[in-house]
Amino acid sequence: MADRNSIVTLPHDNLRKRSQRVGMVSDEIEQIITDMEQATLDWEKHRQHELGVALAAVQIDKLLRIVIIRSNLEDKTDTRFDCYINPEITKKEGAIIDDFEGCLSVKDIYGKVPRYERVKIKALDINGQPIRLTAEGFVARVFQHEIDHTHGKLFIDHIKDKPEAFFRLNEEGKLMELDYDKDIKLSRILW
């Protein structure tokens, strides 16, 4: 059974590796999905001001192209997730918008990241059936973030040359600019 300690964080090497395609939805794959859901929910229990929105399998140290996204992003008590196996972005549309992102694998850091406002996705569902969908707004951002994980890319890679785009969450749940002088250790991990 997975827990929040199952989530790997920088500088873990696998976060920078490409994940492998899933050939068949087996009992082992279903267990990995269950472990991903449990790890996300357990992480969230220990975070007063944050919501576990999504997770990629690499974040529990499984180099497989599996992504889960919370079914209801408005209600923290709804603990259901949708699963996307071998997800791919087939088209990016609309404006590129800068907005805040965090990551369970980049502890306590947020960034203002540019993402397309709409994406078309193809994937397999939990039953191995093909699905296609169009995601907009925040959900489009979540898909782009999680699919990046399957390619060994993190949100910080989109803004690494913009130190002003990095933020930290304070004790009251408010985003504050990152103080690089105080966060020397963190700076070494991010860059």
The catalytic residues are 146
Q: Which DSSP string corresponds to 133-148?
A: EEEEHHHHHHHHHHHH
Strands 81-103 and 175-177: unpaired
Which residues share a beta bridge with 32? none
Q: Cα dist. 102→42, 55, 105 in Å?
A: 17, 12, 9
The dihedrals phi and psi of 23, each to the nearest 5 degrees, come to: -85, -40
- The answer to whether 151 touches 61, Cβ cutoff 8 Å, is no
Say whether 41 sits in a helix, a strand or coil.
Answer: helix
Cβ neighbours, 10 Å, residue 186: 19
Helix (H) or strand (E) holding 32: helix 27-45
CA 46 vs. chain centroid, Å, equals: 17
Task: In whole angstroms, give the CA distance from residue 166 to residue 101.
Answer: 10
